[in-house]
Amino acid sequence: MKKTREKVVIRTSIISILSNIVLASFKAGVGFLANSIAIISDAVNNLSDALSSIITIIGTKLAGRAPDKKHPYGYGRIEYMTSLIVSSIVLYAGATAFIESIKKIIHPELADYSTTTLIILIAGILIKFILGIYVKKKGHDVNSDALVASGTDALNDGILSISVLVSAIIYILFHISLEAYVGVLLSVIIIKSGIELIRESIDNVLESRIESGLSRKIKKEVAKEKEVQGVFDLVLNNYGPDKYLGSVHIEVADTLSVSDVDKISRRITKNVSEKYGVILHTIGIYSVNTKDEHVKKIRNDITKIVFSHKSILQFHGFYLDEEDKSISFDIIIDFKEKNREEVYKQIYDEVKEKYKDYKISITLDIDMSD
């Protein structure tokens, strides 16, 4: 699977490189002959796309290196750095086009369009749209942010070329030169796209929140075990596209033996790995009191106290140890709450006030997954 993905990324990138080099060559020649800054900028943009694809290939090959002692989780995250570089090239191309277009507004020069110019522009538009759709689809198919970024850039280039074509037709028919103004408008669109792609790449490098669809599916899969009464604290660390290692907490009855829990955790690990390709290297256990009705009443009372605070998202991991006279549980407070520590203190004080004879231990968990 890993090798197949690598082959798809490299093959798609090579197609993109060849297409962009051919387009850049034709557009550069026509641009200089027609004295068109828009067409020349378009050619430069095509060259930047070819460079992006070369970087994508290099990044994919480096990311495919086997884990070693220094990097036991592999080199998969190199792809995110590659995507960041590609996104930066998109931003640079947009900024360059913007500057050149402004120069043409300040110092206008008449263009000289011909039938050949229009034919090459139309052919370039068709090739760019086909290439953009193809590269972006392949990127989604193999979960490659770098390919998705390259495909998005190709589609933007197609739109840019349409604007150049329209401005050329308007000039031929009405002798009104709009290409510099159109260049400004389209360069702003490209800059915006580059910023969005950079933001997405940085999110991957920093490890943003787990995609809600994946986290819910994994929790649902874990909850299929009949002994599991609750699934919490799912953490997934991303070490490259489609490579997740993580941990999760489950609530099970305090009547289960260590052997029972071991069998459950092994089944969970196996099923999640087979269905979603996610390795849960740790499954933590919350023991649920089931032997004493008095404990259930205390749990219900504390649950009411906790959820009387509107910013509480979750309450779990409750356990009362009568021998040690201790009560422990976890809470999750919404990130929107500015005074999370204050809410935590209020809950602690309220629980402690009601159950003075017990040691109270509250863990403030992080809202990491849906």
**Which residue ranges make up each domain of the chain?**
2-206, 212-365
At 108, the pLDDT band (50, 70, 90 cuts) reads confident
CATH of 2-206, one of 1.10.443.10, 2.60.40.10, 1.20.1510.10, 1.20.1050.90: 1.20.1510.10
Assign 124 to helix, strand or coil: helix
The closest of 331, 334, 322 to 361, measured between CA atoms, is 331
Bin 143: left if φ > 0, else alpha if -120 < ψ < 50, else beta.
Answer: left
Q: Is the pLDDT of residue 1 over 60?
A: no
* pLDDT at residue 194 greater than cutoff 70: yes
Q: What is the predicted pLDDT for the residue at 344? A: 96
3-state secondary structure of 244: strand
Of 116, 127, 59, residue with least CA distance to 87: 59
Which of these, 270, 264, 271, lies nearest to 249 by C-alpha position?
A: 264
**What local confidence, expressed as pLDDT, does residue 242 receive?**
66
pLDDT at 52 over 80: no
27-36, 47-56, 181-190, 258-267, range with greatest mean pLDDT:
258-267
Is it the case that residue 49 has pLDDT exceeding 80? no
> Is the per-residue pLDDT at 2 higher than 60?
no
Tell which wins on pLDDT, 300 or 58: 300
The closest alpha carbon to 9, from 87, 67, 82, belongs to 82
Does domain 212-365 bear CATH number 2.60.40.1220? no
Q: Within 10 A of 335 (CB to CB), how many other CB atoms are there?
A: 12
**Residue 319: its H or E element:** strand 312-321
CB atoms within 10 A of CB 192: 13
DSSP-derived 3-state class of residue 213: helix
Least confident of 143-157, 251-265, 308-322: 143-157
- 240: pLDDT strictly greater than 90: no
Query: Which of the given ranges, 5-19, 158-172, 308-322, has the highest pLDDT on average?
Result: 308-322
Residue 241 has pLDDT above 70, yes or no: no
Residues 115, 119, 121, CA angle at the centre, nearest 5°?
115
What pLDDT score does 311 carry? 95
Taking only the tens place, the pLDDT of each residue in 124-175 is: 889 889 998 999 998 888 877 778 877 887 887 787 778 778 878 888 888 8
Residue 79 near residue 144, CB atoms below 8 Å: yes
CB neighbour burial string for 124-154, b if at least 16 within 10 angstroms, e if fewer: bbebbbebbebbbebbeebebbbbbbbbbbb
Q: Which of 1-5, 185-189, 305-309 has the highest average model confidence (pLDDT)?
A: 305-309
Size of the chain in residues: 370
pLDDT band at 332 (very low <50, low <70, confident <90, very high): very high
Highest mean pLDDT among 34-48, 67-81, 106-120, 255-269: 255-269
321 against 164, higher pLDDT: 321
Q: Give percent above pLDDT 70 in the chain.
A: 97
DSSP string, 164-175: HHHHHHHHHHH-
Task: Report the percentage of the chain scoring pLDDT > 90.
Answer: 36
pLDDT at 39 over 80: no
pLDDT given at position 3: 60
This model's pTM is above 0.75: no
Has residue 338 got a pLDDT over 70? yes
pLDDT averaged over every residue in the chain? 86
Residue with tokens 């919490």, as numbered in its chain = 232
What average pLDDT does this structure show over 310-334?
Answer: 94
